[in-house]
Structure 1
């Protein structure tokens, strides 16, 4: 009985460590995010900040889907689950939660901008206003 319990605990530990590693790999530094954005075909770039934040400046080609919108889950459901999603917010908190929601909704390839648009700007990367 005890050896089985030890094996089960060990297996649970391995599975949780693997999940943490997978989540850590989905965050990209601004330079890597930009490189992936330029080299990935049919990427869906999503800004999960509020419309006011989006209007103040966003990444070129980004679609605004407000994380705080009551219909956020149904709105992301309108995107193509077979195409990669790249997501960002101001600092990285909302986008990390949004990336998890994308994964839970069945999206396989989801990348998150580490540090958000603030880190993007600090790295000297461009933003646009509509």
Structure 2
């Protein structure tokens, strides 16, 4: 009887939170398969190349970026994407670039625009900043100080963010 009670408690305490993360990851995969065309190859949190030569471009809106972003990311926006600003900031079109947004949908669109501008080494961060934070990645606020806050975009999409403090 004690073993059965232990198994039940273990299931609720350990496995239930884990199942929420697995479910969120599955929902990210479904959303990306539904919304994206696969025109920009994915790079995954677990397989990120470790080098300072990569430019991280945040394709979310400014208020999302100010709440949190990846270290040293350059904000390029989505609705306000400025091709000229990018060309001036990254003159070398062979510069390795990783684009990201909340989960990877908007970043694919911006990745396509970068490709049209002639950039040749573009990857889309799979699962975006949500997956990054869900897997323990560090994010920084507008003062470049580590934070647990992440702009969750909306209540609907925010369900995919399992770690950190959701900001709307």
**Which TM-score applies when normalising by structure 2?**
0.57
Indicate the residue corresponding to 2:129 in structure 1: 117
TM-superposed CA distance for 1:42, in Å, is 2.1
2:63 and 2:111 map into 1 onto residues whose CA distance is 21
Secondary structure class of the residue paired with 1:119: helix
Residue 104 of structure 2 corresponds to: 92
Higher helix share: 1
Residue aligning to 2:82: 72
Flag as ranges the 4+ runs of structure 1 deviating above 3 A.
none
Cα distance in 2 between the residues matched to 1:128 and 1:31: 19
Q: What does 1:35-50 correspond to in 2, within 5 Å?
A: 35-36=48-49, 38-39=50-51, 41-50=52-61
SS in 1 for 2:98: strand
Q: Which runs of 5+ in 2 are unaligned?
A: 1-36, 144-168
CA RMSD of aligned residues (A): 1.8
The alpha-carbon deviation at position 76 of structure 1 amounts to 2.1
Who is 1:63 aligned against?
A: 74
TM-score (norm: length of structure 1): 0.72
Gaps of 5+ in 1: 1-19
Question: Hey, what's the Cα distance between the residues in 1 that align with 2:45 and 2:133?
Answer: 9
